[in-house]
A and B are shown apart, each in its own frame.
Chain A
Amino acid sequence: MSAKNPVVDQIRHDLTHNDVVLYMKGTPAFPQCGFSAAVVQVLNHMGVKFKAVDVLTDPSLREGIKQYSNWPTLPQLYIKNQFIGGCDIVREMFQTGELQDTLQKNGVETAATV
């Protein structure tokens, strides 16, 4: 994909200017998909501040983020510009405590940070 692609520029900008970014269908208040809703729920439960990007507002972004990460589905969670995974991986990492560790290692505040 060309470096001049505006969608890729937008993705890079969002990922470098925000610690935690969630690409999702709908908004955190009104998720349009159960998988997106589940990840929002995990992040809210952990008290993590995140930037949510609603891919339903822009079809080129919806396709662009899938190509960017080589990942065919949404939602997609990024921490410090690193692709963490989709709903299954986020839920699994939450259950094992790995998500908390990853956030802490990256200096991201959570409700559990003392």
Chain B
Amino acid sequence: MPIEQTRLERMIRDGIPGADVRIEDLRGDGDHYTAHVTSPAFRGLSRVQQHQLVYAALKGIVGKELHALSVHTALPETVGNTNR
């Protein structure tokens, strides 16, 4: 079932305040997305725990309303080291 990209972005931002969220619609069908989420909230968490935060922000729509969501999480300083 398709989901609007903006709704997805909003849910993740609401669930993880201050997160930098970038969504790609992989097939243009509203059902296969990749979410790039960067947040200091991920510090000290395992990858599984980081992804669980994103899933929690999406309140159970992943695997149900939304078939495919590829998730990539990162801490702020590990994204683009060119500034340092």
Residues of A bordering B, CB below 8 Å:
35, 66, 70-74, 83-89, 92-93
Instruction: Say yes or no: A66 contacts B70, CB within 8 Å.
Output: no
Report if A71-B55 is in contact (Cβ < 8 Å); known contacts: A35-B68, A88-B71, A88-B72. yes
The answer, among B47, B48, B63, for a CB contact under 8 Å with A73, is B63
Report if A66-B51 is in contact (Cβ < 8 Å); known contacts: A35-B68, A88-B70. no
Contacts of B69 in A (CB 8 A): 73
Bound Cα distance from A71 to B63, whole angstroms: 9
Residues of B bordering A, CB below 8 Å:
47-48, 51-52, 55, 60, 62-64, 68-72
Bound Cα distance from A81 to B55, whole angstroms: 22
Bound Cα distance from A4 to B68, whole angstroms: 32
Inter-chain pairs besides A72-B63, A88-B72, 20 sampled, C-beta below 8 Å: A35-B68, A66-B63, A70-B52, A71-B48, A71-B51, A71-B55, A72-B55, A72-B60, A72-B62, A73-B62, A73-B63, A74-B63, A83-B48, A84-B48, A85-B48, A85-B51, A86-B51, A88-B71, A92-B47, A92-B72
Interface of A is mostly: mixed
B3 CB to nearest A CB, Å: 14
Report if A89-B55 is in contact (Cβ < 8 Å); known contacts: A72-B62, A72-B63. no
Contacts of B55 in A (CB 8 A): 71-72
Residue of B with least CB distance to A35: B68
Contacts of A89 in B (CB 8 A): 47-48, 51
